Structure formats: C-alpha cells, structure tokens
Amino acid sequence: MNANTSRAPGSAHPDAGSTASAASPTSAASTGSALGAAEVSFARALRAEWLKLTSLRLNWWLSLAALAVMVLTLTATVFSTRYLLADTSLQDTEAQLTGLGLFENAFASFTLITLLMGALAAVAITTEHSSGSIRSSLAAVPNRSIFFAAKLLAVCGFIAALTAALMLLCFLVLLPLAGFYDVMPPLWEPELWWMTLSSAAVVIITAALGFGLGALLRSTAGAVVTYCLLLFSGPIALGLLQALTDFAPWVEELARFEIFALQRQFTAGSASLATDLPVPLAGALLLAWAGLVLIPGWLLFTRRDA
C-alpha cells in the first residue's frame, strides 16, 4: 500500500486539496518512501521489547545498583582474604575449598541482586500500564501471548546479560586473588561452574517471578512489595513457626520448599546436604514457583481489557 496511490475517488471537501501547512500534511500521507514493512513476528516483537528495556534509564540505574553491590562484595572479599589468608599455608584440598569459598561469598551478593532484578522485571510490565504505553504496544503487537512471551524473554535476556557481566567481573577479580594466595579452585571440575551457572539461573528464575507479579497486579508498588514479601516473608514466617512448634518436623519439611531454601539447595550442587532436596528437584520447584505466578499473570494479561 503506497500512500501515493489514491485508494478511491477523493472527497470534494474544500480542504481536501489545500496547500500544506508548516508541518506539511502533503508529505504526510504521500511519503514516497519504500516502506518495506513486514508482518509482526516473535523475533520482531522481541527486538522491540529489547529496545524498550535498553531505552529506559531506570533499568540502567538498577543495573548500576547491581554492579555497585557486586563491587562492594568483591572489595570486602579482597580485604577479608588479605587478613584471613596472609599468613596461612593451606593443603591442596583445603586450598581448593577456600578458593571455592571465595566465589561462594561473592555469589552470595546475588541474593540482593535478585531483589533488584525482580524489581526491574516487574517494572518492565507495570510501567506499560502506568504510562499507558500498553495501548500503543498492543496496537503494534495485538497478539497478547506473543507480546507477553517476547517481553518475558527480553527481560530474562537483559538480566542474563547483566548477570553474566557480573559473573565475569567476579572471575576477573577472584581468580587472580585466589592465585595470589595459592587457593585456586579446581577449574577443571564442575563445582565452580555449577555454582556459577546455577547462581545465574536463580537470579533469572526469581526475577521472572517478579515479572509474573507485575503482569498479575499491573502496579509497580504492588508488584515490588509482593515480590519482597514472597521472598522474605517465607523465612520469617517459618522461623516463627519453628519457634512456636519447637522445630516440628513438618515445619522443617515445609522450610525446604521456601524460595530462598530452594535457591540454596539448587546452587549447592555436589555440596548438597543429606537433608537437601535433589538438585534437579530444587531447580524444578524454583521454576514451579515462577510458573505459579507467571501462568496466571499470562492468562489475565491475555483476557483483561488493556
């Protein structure tokens, strides 16, 4: 459809052929450009969602905050290592475990980063509703399932890229540090790599939960507060229950299914405790937590008025 071509006999209205004003409507409708527009596809919707994420300052502020958390953690790790290991000589296995411990400590900061990324994921969808941009977004991509999936994937991709960058920073700081103090972890064995990959997966899966809450609640404040409550109210409530029931076995059992507990059990890998759930099951249950919020969020998103 080229605008230069008349579609039907024109109207006889007096303004129909009038001269263009300053912002010329003459060129408005008759562009003369080879528009070359194509159909909406998942890949194109994904690209648009990626552009949205990278165009928002808030996302970069949250990413900077995550970087600051990691930098602080690494700084603390470097200084504490200097005091703890300066005059210590460790045997092979001990040295390797100490080296792994350095990474474990640094990766512990991902708990806080998960909060930031959950907020980022929630805001990615709630801001569409609060700003009204959902209307132009759905005008461009009216298939809501495609829109939802593209946005979720873009958010997860953004968070994955950021997490990867933070992991890389950890390795760039901690590997030379471990080498300097002769506590190099075994790079040829899976422990370190599992810890790295599973920690990244935990950040992404937990942030997806924030996205689901955003889709469900459509309110930034509501989604972020609920996200924090979901993450933190579990351990607090279970702690109270343990105190009230004198550590009843059913409370102990319940505690294994709480989000933070699942994160720990999933990232433990071969270092799992005997009481832990199997690692694949812990991962599957983490995914189930995300699905528990994402699926109703998706269903509501596809059915509600925009």
Q: What region does 21 belong to: left with phi over 0, alpha with psi -120 to 50, or beta?
A: beta
Q: Of the two residues 23 and 273, which places its CB atom closer to other proteins in the complex?
A: 23
Q: Tell me the closest approach of the beta carbon of residue 177 to other proteins, in angstroms.
A: 39
C-beta closer to other proteins: residue 150 or 202: 150
| Cα 143-144-147 angle, rounded to 5 deg | 95
CB of 123 to other proteins, least distance (A): 11
Interface residues toward other proteins, by CB under 8 A: 1-3, 5-11, 13-18, 20-31, 33-40, 44-45, 47-48, 51-52, 55-58, 127-128, 131-136, 138-144, 303, 305-306
CB of 304 to other proteins, least distance (A): 9
Closer to other proteins at the Cβ: 87 or 303?
A: 303
CA–CA distance, 94 with 77 (Å, rounded to integer): 18
Residue 271: how many other CB atoms lie within 10 Å:
14
Q: In terms of Cα–Cα distance, which of 212, 103, 55 is closest to 149? A: 212
Q: State the nearest-atom distance from the C-beta of 50 to other proteins, in Å.
A: 8
CA 115/CA 112 separation, integer angstroms: 5
In the bound state with other proteins, the residue whose beta carbon lies nearer, of 86 and 139, is: 139
- Alpha helices by DSSP H, listed for the chain, are 25-29, 42-55, 57-85, 92-107, 110-131, 133-140, 144-180, 190-217, 220-245, 249-255, 259-268, 279-303
- Name the residue nearer to other proteins (CB basis): 84 or 221: 221
* Distance of alpha carbon 268 from alpha carbon 64, whole angstroms: 28
Provide, rounded to whole angstroms, the least separation between the CB of residue 79 and other proteins: 38
Nearer to other proteins, 140 or 295 (CB): 140
Sign of CA dihedral 53, 55, 56, 57: positive
Q: What are phi and psi of 10, to 5 degrees?
A: -70, 165
Closer to other proteins by CB, 37 or 86: give it.
Answer: 37
**CB nearer other proteins, residue 137 or residue 163:** 137
Nearer to other proteins, 25 or 296 (CB): 25
Long-range CB contacts (within 8 A, 24+) of 221-227: 223/122, 223/123, 223/126, 224/118, 224/119, 224/122, 224/123, 227/115, 227/118, 227/119, 227/122
Give least dist CB 218 to other proteins, A.
Answer: 14
Min dist. Cβ of residue 129 to other proteins (A)? 11
CB atoms within 10 A of CB 111: 17
CB of 46 to other proteins, least distance (A): 9
Tokens of 116: 């930031």
Q: Which residues of 174-193 are buried (b: 16+ CB within 10 A; e: fewer)?
A: bbebbeebebbbeeeeebbe
Least distance CB 97 / other proteins (angstroms): 47
